[in-house]
Amino acid sequence: MSAHVDVAIASMTARGCKVAGAAMLDACANVLEFDIVEGDPQVVREVLDAQFKPSDLIVADHVPRVPSLFVSDMDSTMIMAECIDELADFAGLKPQIAAITERAMQGELDFEAALRERVLLLRGLSEGAIAECLATRISPMPGARVLVETLKAHGCKTVLVTGGFHQFADPVAEQLGFEMVVGNRLEVLGGELSGGLVGSITDSSVKKAVLLEEASRLGGGGAITLATGDGANDIPMIEAATYGLAYAAKPKARAAGDGWIDRGDLTSVLELLGIPRERWVWE
């Protein structure tokens, strides 16, 4: 470890950063903190990524602290699946729909057009497939409930905002402890999916708007906010947050964040915020 630290400090210094030192946090013994008094955050990211990959990282211009608002994506962030892909399996269309999902997540397709195309392919699927999918295919991401409940216990408001569907997000939010849910809704007619959606679309702009609106209610422009996500649809929200963290993310989302979680589970977020384990709310 010490050799990597020395190389990292030398590399940052050579690229114009002034590094005051580096030490393990007293409260979180697994966290190495670099005190950088001057320098380009992108240089810091690149150097630390090169020296400590895979890593969990946050870059901030102050000592990270507990946010007053936490807004998170759901699919492949708070749960271990893409709901629409798993639901498509019940219609025998998973490979076809999953391919569209992957391209949308990479930022290669217009989100709304890709969403409507996939939902249309599910037309005629029994409504009962949703409950079966929830029961058999949807599991929380490791550390998700501990993260949410710990942040709540420290006074943070928690919001689950998804480009997926309320039929999945509402029970997931209840299971994990989220206080608010924003998402899309599948239209059901006569016990079957109609191939359409009810209401307006929750896309990247809505995710960002939710974060900014809730932050304004909590404390105006001074509210400390945290956002987590993994795909292109999460980028505006991640960029708008005080701490935008990309979780096991696609390259574009990872590049947009103030940091990333590539190594640990979601409880790594708590460690990066400096919350000691004895103050976590365990399941």
- Residues taking part in catalysis: 73, 75
Instruction: Report how far apart, in Å, the C-alpha atoms of 182 and of each of 74, 165, 185, 209 are.
Output: 10, 9, 10, 11
Report the SS3 class of residue 183.
Answer: strand
d(CA 55, CA 53): 5
Residue with tokens 């915020």: 273
d(CA 242, CA 251): 20
d(CA 157, CA 71): 8
Contact 74, 105 (CB under 8 A): no
Beta strands in the chain (DSSP E): 18-24, 32-38, 56-58, 69-72, 157-165, 180-184, 186-189, 192-197, 225-229, 243-247, 259-261
259-261 β-sheet, strand order = 56-58, 259-261, 243-247, 225-229, 69-72, 157-165, 180-184
Which tokens sit at 89?
A: 């399996």
Going by C-alpha positions, the residue among 28, 138, 39 that lies closest to residue 79 is: 138
Contact 239, 256 (CB under 8 A): yes
Residue with tokens 């191939």: 195
Contact 156, 139 (CB under 8 A): no
